[in-house]
Structure 1
Amino acid sequence: MIDLALDRRSLFRGAAALTLAGAFPAWARSGTAGLHPAPGILSGEDIALTVGETHFRTGGRSGHAITVNGTLPAPLIRLKQGQMVRLSVTNSLAEDTSIHWHGLIVPFQMDGVPGVSFPGIRPGETFRYEFPVRQTGTYWYHSHSGMQEAMGHYGPIVIDPADADPVAYDREHVVLLSDWTPVHPHRLLQRLKQMGGYYNMQRQTLSGLLGSKDQSLEERLDWGAMRMDPTDLSDVTGATYSYLVNGHGTPENWTGLFQPGERVRLRIINASAMTNFNVRLPGLPMRVVQCDGQNVRPVDTDEFQIGIAETYDVIVQPTEPRPYGLIAEAIDRSGLVRATLAPRAGMAAPVPPLRPRPLLGMKDMGMAMPAMLGDHGAHGSGAAHAMSGHSMSMRDPSVAPALPLGPGVATLSPMPMDRTADRPTGLEHVAHRVLTYADLRALEPNADTRAPSRTLDIHLTANMERYMWSFDGVKLSDGADPIPFRHGERVRVTLINDTMMPHPIHIHGHFFELVTGENAAHYPRKHTVNVLPGGKLSFDLTADAIGDWAFHCHMLLHMHAGMMRVVTVRHEEAAA
């Protein structure tokens, strides 16, 4: 006699397995043995991509997603340095779309930013991107249209070197981090404009303030006077986000396989819309070998913060045949995602508890040097007056930059410090090793080590209470002028963060050298850099790519709300 109940259960399990297999590209399915070999990876000179709509479900949440070739994340594109590639992108949506090749050096007409480098891809149309592959490393691609990136329109790129790879490894996995919510990003933005801390469920309470050992009374008064909350590190939080590894939440347990003793290369990409992550593998040290696709001198660490749009390649060498947890924790600690490295499928590493949420301090207000703040010092009420948007005229004009002090600029950092050697937000006091930008050194000497011929300061500005974001107090939509560069010139750009939140700043079409010390030949080369709250950092840029390029914060809602400019690179005679 046939057990019909058992037969139905088997049928449902089989259907679920088929559904799961269809939801993810081969490289992202749980239990993958790695990228070599892996079916479903797109490579060669001609690649076809179709942008469409798909229903997506994770962690008990489900909703509308925008996908490429029907999967979230999008297919892995694997290229080789020196080849030509033609990518035909067909838009099956009812709205315009686009693809930006994040970190790739391409002609500006191929960069994929509607209104800057091309008009976008209309519904039903196909646009062909064509360019030579000039570099190597780990990169990614995503939409630059209508905040589709937040809805699933992103995927990884791996470019193999034409010659031998200086990084030795036995196996590799792509680890693509993201945040996902069924709430439409325009609705997220609307709620944040109504109340800047809408998704912050970790606000300080009165009893918490009275019993706090982390802040002095003066500090609490200062934060209150500025109408700001030192727990507000991420505008959109685990209150609505599911955090994902390769499209899998913690219950789905994405698993990358290994054999004990193997050197495993993890190509870690932060493809989030709004979340900076702290990444660690408890019990397994990491050796950082690449950042933003550029090889660095190997440096060992136990944890690092990966800003939105950054990539880090690390080597791990598990020696025991047991599962290891890959933990990506949101910097505000409102949630995390656990994936697993294991010798066989079906194993699951433990899920650690969330660590206590961090609090911003006086350094995050740009108040690290009390002598510059008058008689009250860094912890007195004078600090609040110095920072208050209603008291800007009281500030020392020799300290305050010449910025438009309108409703979009609520605060200015009185004394921002270079924070490239600082541990990132929330990791200041953990007991283990933490990577800083100052630890990074380019593996090969940089090609251009000329001293910059001029300097340029750019302020990251905001009124967080009204959810207004800008560069130098001007939103892109308010007619901000382009930032002009002469072709071939060398410029030192200093980013000054006048807000209480870290900002991952990305420039299209270029790499820059992050100023981390005295040896310019080995400054790390990057395309995205996370500027800590109340701090500043500098990079040297060679303007070697003619065209118009986007320059923006990669927190998607910040960019959409105005923290974006256009950089123009012209020959000197054209610029004149």
Structure 2
Amino acid sequence: MVSFSRRNLIRSTAALAAASALPMPAWARGQSLTHAKNGFGEVSGEDIRLAIGNHHFMTGSRSGHAVAVNGTVPGPLVRLREGQTARLQVTNNLDEDSSIHWHGLLLPFQFDGVPGVSFPGIKPGETFTYEFPVRQNGTYWWHSHSGLQEQAGHYGPIIIDSADPDPRYDRDYVMLLSEFTPMHPHEIMRKLKVGEHYFQRDMLTATEGDMSGEMRRMWGKMRMNPRDISDVTGSTYTFLINGHGPQDDLQLAFQPGERVRLRVINGSAMTFFNVRIPGVPMMVIQADGQDVDEVQVDEFQIGVAETYDVIVSPPDGSHAIVAEAMDRSGMGVASLTSHKGHRATPPPLREIPTLTMVDMGMMEHSGMAGKDSMGGMDHSMRDKSLVPSDVEVGAGVDMIAPMPMDRMDFPGLGLDKVPHRVLRYTDLKAKRINPHRKVEREMEIHLTGNMERYMWSFDGKKFTAVTDDPIRFGYDERVRVKLVNQTMMAHPIHLHGHFFELVNGADHMHQPLKHTVIVQPGGAATFDLTANEPGDWAFHCHLLYHMHAGMMQVVTVRPFPEGDGA
């Protein structure tokens, strides 16, 4: 590890710029920058340098502190190529520890970038060099895994170019979805702990909707609201596409007749987005950087940390690219246009979705509205008999879903009744055949929480309580993992260092590979994992404040293969 001071780093940058007769970059001069124009700066090659620093960000009427990398929010596009050895030197110019996690990349665990799990982190003024062979291609992203820095702007995209070019498209854009808030992330966390409804501005009132009085009393007894869709909303967030808010007029150009690849990355802290281009079909070709059989849709929901690559063939004109927050509290907007300077008109926000009995893990039918069923539901909220004995049902668990079911075919809250085609996990099939392996072991992990106290966990145990008790897999073991969501919020669950196969109804040779899976409220999702990446890996909900509140674990894969070691 090499140590540089901020002053020496800037002095060195200035000297290099002068020596090459080039203007010194604004980020090195310490200027306040907002974002890279119409996209990203780009870094590539055999030796990539990234610098983390404090900056100021503005979009629309909102402005505030940001953590920028190489002077922009989002940070630069890191472009790698399949087969190369990546060498990335990351310098921390903050006054606190930092890190970069290479989300979705297969690499030695000591370069995964999770402080306290795979390395110590990067101290202020120090440089850490990540070096690893690039074993894949596709669309990925990078972000801080230190504290809540990701919320403040510490993230960016990754493209790994394939050794075999893809002839299916003519033009290629990254679409990195995220949020900006002028509120400090720790202040957001404090407000959520004080009252989980703090950012809600559209709660269901006593007279709205077609809900029965009995149902309203039941929701009230649980101290929950059926519109409690997102913890943090457009009341403080501005939703961004490539760092641009809706007022920033981001335009992506194309020529009529071109096929355009859009690499959609959800790099937000807390927001599920529903993505559509009204009137323009989208052909999904990759999920989480992995090839899937082509499937045509009109809209898809993308959970935090997921990626989808789509190809579109837009007709001449200007088309609104819409990334609508799942709770309909705002949207990110860009124009896909063949007429420079012409801005597409986005559609209005749609009606706010409302949670149902199914989202509580209960079968929804007419008999559930009776008095007896209400009593049964209330009893089930913390009924220990409904979960395995290793799930701790205490203060951190305020609900247990009585009948969680597989919800792989659910398209996402608010999208189950739209009139057009919406992507579902059951639509995904791996393009390449997976190796045939029989499952050797099965395990069940419960997603648990107390929404009122803002406590989140796996199996009722917060991360701080389980650091000495990781989830253990034998090297090359084949395990089927069932995730059961005992809460009424959707959770995007991410496993570092591996791809797993969704058990989504496809034959076992074509189960799609992913690194992140949405587990729907009151539902279950199952994946098959071949634990063939040795080391210690983070496993967590990718909603940043849920992870920070305790919904995280460590997966350890041992022993190391012969000739390898920790």
Which TM-score applies when normalising by structure 2? 0.91
**Aligned mates of 1:142, 1:267 — CA distance in 2:** 17
Q: For the Cα contact (< 8 Å) 1:26–1:41, is it kept in 2?
A: no
Change beyond 3 A, Cα 1:22–1:226: closer
**Aligned mates of 1:523, 1:188 — CA distance in 2:** 38
1:469 partnered with 2:456: yes
Change beyond 3 A, Cα 1:122–1:572: closer
Quote the residue 1:378 is aligned against: 368
Aligned-pair distance for 1:253?
1.6
Identity %: 57
Quote the residue 2:248 is aligned against: 252
Alignment partner of 2:207: what SS? helix
**Aligned mates of 1:350, 1:51 — CA distance in 2:** 36
Please show how residues 158-237 of structure 1 align to structure 2 within 5 Å. Answer: 158-165=159-166, 168-208=168-208, 212-213=209-210, 215-237=211-233
**Aligned mates of 1:201, 1:169 — CA distance in 2:** 42
Aligned-pair distance for 1:163?
2.0
Please show how residues 508-547 of structure 1 align to structure 2 within 5 Å. Answer: 508-547=496-535
Change beyond 3 A, Cα 1:381–1:154: farther
Aligned-pair distance for 1:21?
11
1:243 partnered with 2:244: no
Aligned-pair distance for 1:246?
0.5
**Aligned mates of 1:384, 1:141 — CA distance in 2:** 46
Aligned-pair distance for 1:224?
1.5
Change beyond 3 A, Cα 1:153–1:489: same
Q: For the Cα contact (< 8 Å) 2:276–2:300, is it kept in 1?
A: yes
Code of the aligned partner of 1:380: G
Which among 342, 346, 349 is matched to residue 341 of structure 2? 346
Aligned length: 533
Alignment partner of 1:224: what SS? helix
**Aligned mates of 1:299, 1:20 — CA distance in 2:** 45
Q: For the Cα contact (< 8 Å) 1:24–1:72, is it kept in 2?
A: yes
**Aligned mates of 1:238, 1:250 — CA distance in 2:** 12
Which among 430, 433, 452 is matched to residue 442 of structure 1? 430
Code of the aligned partner of 1:28: G
Alignment partner of 1:542: what SS? strand
1:301 partnered with 2:297: yes
Aligned-pair distance for 1:283?
0.8
Code of the aligned partner of 2:521: P
Q: For the Cα contact (< 8 Å) 1:388–1:410, is it kept in 2?
A: no
**Aligned mates of 1:302, 1:46 — CA distance in 2:** 40
Code of the aligned partner of 2:182: P
Quote the residue 2:351 is aligned against: 356
Change beyond 3 A, Cα 1:410–1:469: same
Quote the residue 1:367 is aligned against: 362
**Aligned mates of 1:400, 1:43 — CA distance in 2:** 49
Quote the residue 2:141 is aligned against: 140
Which TM-score applies when normalising by structure 1? 0.89
Deviates more, 1:511-520 or 1:257-266: 511-520
**Aligned mates of 2:271, 2:545 — CA distance in 1:** 11
Q: For the Cα contact (< 8 Å) 2:534–2:560, is it kept in 1?
A: no
1:157 partnered with 2:158: yes
**Aligned mates of 1:502, 1:219 — CA distance in 2:** 22
Quote the residue 1:334 is aligned against: 329
Aligned-pair distance for 1:385?
4.3
Please show how residues 116-127 of structure 1 align to structure 2 within 5 Å. Answer: 116-127=117-128
Q: For the Cα contact (< 8 Å) 1:385–1:391, is it kept in 2?
A: no
Structure 1: runs of 5 or more not aligned = 1-14, 30-39, 371-375
**Aligned mates of 2:510, 2:432 — CA distance in 1:** 7
**Aligned mates of 1:490, 1:179 — CA distance in 2:** 37
Quote the residue 1:500 is aligned against: 488
Q: For the Cα contact (< 8 Å) 2:33–2:57, is it kept in 1?
A: no
Quote the residue 2:14 is aligned against: none
Aligned-pair distance for 1:25?
3.1
**Aligned mates of 1:565, 1:168 — CA distance in 2:** 40
**Aligned mates of 2:84, 2:106 — CA distance in 1:** 13
Code of the aligned partner of 1:450: R
Q: Could you report, residue by residue, the CA deviation over 1:47-79 in whole angstroms, capped at 9, with x for unpaired residues?
A: 000000110001201000001000011000111
Aligned-pair distance for 1:351?
2.3
Superposition CA RMSD, Å: 2.1
Change beyond 3 A, Cα 1:454–1:252: same
Change beyond 3 A, Cα 1:88–1:319: same
1:324 partnered with 2:314: no
Code of the aligned partner of 1:353: P
Alignment partner of 1:338: what SS? strand
Quote the residue 1:82 is aligned against: 83
Q: For the Cα contact (< 8 Å) 1:49–1:88, is it kept in 2?
A: yes
